[in-house]
Amino acid sequence: MGALIIGFKRAAFSNEAGLGSAPIAHSAVKTKHPASEGLVALLEPFIDTVVICTMTALTIVIANPASYVELRNGGESIGGVTITSDAFGTVMPWFPYILTVAVMLFAISTVLTWGYYCMKAWTHLFGRSRASELTFKVLYTLFAVAGSLLTLQTLIDMADAVLFMLAVINIIGLYLLAPVVKRELNTFLAFVKRRDAGLDTDEDTVEDTDQEPVKTTV
């Protein structure tokens, strides 16, 4: 159970699945079928967690670097980035430099992404004005500076607590909106079938749950 809990926490930190944050970015696209963007979003957890994280874990286990051995033997707590760097360094001595740049870019992109998410939530609550956005940017900058003064474990614990709260609220919303999601998905799948059949796709197909698809002119 402990391994499962840690796995869930790190998976949420990795791909944000179920938190409701990624849809803020995906909602910026222009499409007639929102379900199509939802299917695109499904690729993110698969590529990020299932593929990349699994490959990284297998590399660490197979390479078995000294830092990983020390950690298993109850030594000093070592960060995952350090263990990953040592694991790849056993085969490619120059790889730690590339990993350092990748981690730096990951950190910068994370700060910018969550800043965008928070900005959208802030403007939704307090209005989209120059003063409102400036206030948020100042507060976000202050929190970023304050966060850099905390220890890594404290930041991780705080992030886990906030992500858990987001997941609880978002999952409740997912259950309430499940019929809407099902309807949108059925509409998009009907559209794909019509397109593959070579029929006119200038008209959207709206499918009721208990009736045949009905065509409505756009």
- CB-CB contact of 40 with 26 (8 Å): yes
DSSP sequence for 158-194: HHHHHHHHHHHHHHHHHHHTHHHHHHHHHHHHHHHHH
Report the distance separating Cα 132 and Cα 126, nearest Å: 7
Is 54 contained in some domain? yes
Q: With b meaning 16 or more CB within 10 Å and e meaning fewer, what string describes 115-125?
A: bebbbbebeee
Is residue 174 situated within a structural domain? yes
Residue 202 has a pLDDT of 55
Residue 206 within any structural domain of the chain: no
| 92 token code pair | 């490619």
3-class DSSP state for residue 149?
coil
Residue-number span of the structural domain to which 1 is assigned:
1-92+150-197
- Name residues of the chain where pLDDT drops below 70: 4, 7, 75, 77, 200-218
Alpha carbon of residue 77 to chain centroid: 26
Is residue 208 within 8 Å of residue 214, measured between CB atoms? yes
Whole-number Å distance between alpha carbons of 187 and 146: 47
Residues 191 and 199: their CA atoms lie apart, in Å, by 10
Q: Which residue has the tokens 């979003």?
A: 41
- How many other β-carbons are positioned within 10 Å of the β-carbon of residue 175? 8
In-domain check, residue 112: no
- Judge whether 128 lies within some domain: no
DSSP annotation of 77: -
Show the DSSP H helices in the chain as ranges: 2-15, 22-26, 34-41, 43-45, 54-63, 66-72, 80-89, 95-126, 130-148, 152-176, 178-196
**Whether 215 contacts 205, CB under 8 Å:** yes
207 assigned to some structural domain = no
User: pLDDT tens digit string along 28-53?
Assistant: 888 888 888 888 888 888 888 888 88
Domain count across the chain: 1
In a domain, 67, yes or no: yes
Contact 17, 47 (CB under 8 A): no
In a domain, 107, yes or no: no
